[in-house]
Structure 1
Amino acid sequence: MVELSPTTLLATFGWPLEEPTSHDQNYLSFRDGETPESLITKFPPSQPKIIELDRSPSSFTAYSGSADPSMFKKLSHNANERDRRKKIRSLYSSLRSLLPAADQMKKLSEPATVSRALKYVAELQQQVERLVQRKEELLSKQGCMIHQENQRKDTMYSSLSSVSASQLGDREVVVHISTHKNHKIPLSEILLALEEDGLLLENSSSFESFGDKVFYNLHLQIMEGTYTFDSEAMSAKLVSLSAKRESPFQQIQELHIL
């Protein structure tokens, strides 16, 4: 066998063999002259470099433009989807607020909310129809009651008021009117109605009796012209004046109805 020395081994691998002792001398001089403190001074530790990122919109835009287009499209799609879901939740919340209070307290799902809203709309429509029908019934009953009340008052006024007329001569007429105190006709209206028939007042008197009765005695003169005295026609005309008069309460009530 051939003995391999370090010199032979280095020569075999092609490493340089000149000045074989120079490395050893350098190593010895390092060990003799250098200390760890001098090494630290000679080779100071390197500081880590801090890279500060630019967070400005222009930098983000430049980055987005230089990024993968498919990634940017995916991010945009996700953002739009979040906005869409947010709007849908807001719409469902608004719809839920229109439901009855008892249903608002329940934790209804979105399909259940839509279903309950549809049923609630149908219930409201039925309620409106019932109210309209009820209104028509009340108006019909009210009209019948007003008509009956008017008929009752006409009958009452006719029974409470009585008129008698007689002719004294060719040019004179006497009229006696009795009516109830609460439904008496103003004398001015009576005289105006008689004047339309061609009768002028000469004198009059009135008095009240027991039972709240009021009596009018009118002495009239027939104006010039053709006039045919008709006791029944005059009595009917004066009674109709009493029937047409309405109490203030009835007038206010009819105005309120209109």
Structure 2
Amino acid sequence: MLALSPPLFPSFGWPLELDPINQDHQINDCFYGDHQCTETTSESFLHFPVPSELPQQLDQLDRSTPSTTAISSDLNMVKKLNHNASERDRRKKINHLYSSLRALLPATDHTKKLSIPATVSRVLKYIPDLQQQVEGLVRKKEELLSKMSKQKGNLVHHDDDQENQVKTAAARSSLSSVSASQLNDREVAIQISTYKVNNNPISEILNTLEEDGFSMLNASSFESFEGRVFHSEKLMSLFEKRE
């Protein structure tokens, strides 16, 4: 024998079959113009009894299956939260950039809190002024370096000239020579070789000799190459030699 399987759709307590006798009786009454039968049949058909388990089953079905409206609402909420977080990060970065820009201004502008438009306007005005100041400082630096270089060059050149003059004078003075020879008891011949740059006039030499008791008889001088001058004097002693 085959086991009876449960019906595919639950009956929810509804009568699937009617009593044949009652069914025929109701149909005959309707065909014979029983108006009461028609109303009764209509009311009995439209107002069938609802099983008591149906509301509970529908409630469980609603709870177990999320609605499309709820899912859409959750997605919109997630998008809104992500948008708000991105907007906060963007504003935070912008505020940080404006703070860095405000920090570049002079200290006098930090005493009062500037708005963002005022900060941008002040920076746009301050940058050209700062560039002009930098260019002016660069020019002053170049001028000072040029002056220092010239002064240093002049100082070195002057020191070199002085050193060369000292060396030249020392060399020439070391090359000057004086020789004297006695001609007789009262006459002496003197030869002097020196450089013109030494600036030793022969008159001073003669004055010194006269003070020592000599009188010049004759003198001659001539200049040779490289500024060398030769003097020759013949002197006579004013004092007689005593034996």
- TM (norm. structure 1) is 0.37
The one of the two structures with greater contact order (alpha-carbon pairs below 8 A, sep at least 6) is 1
**TM-score calculated relative to the size of structure 2:** 0.39
Considering only CA atoms, is the larger Rg found in Structure 1 or Structure 2?
2
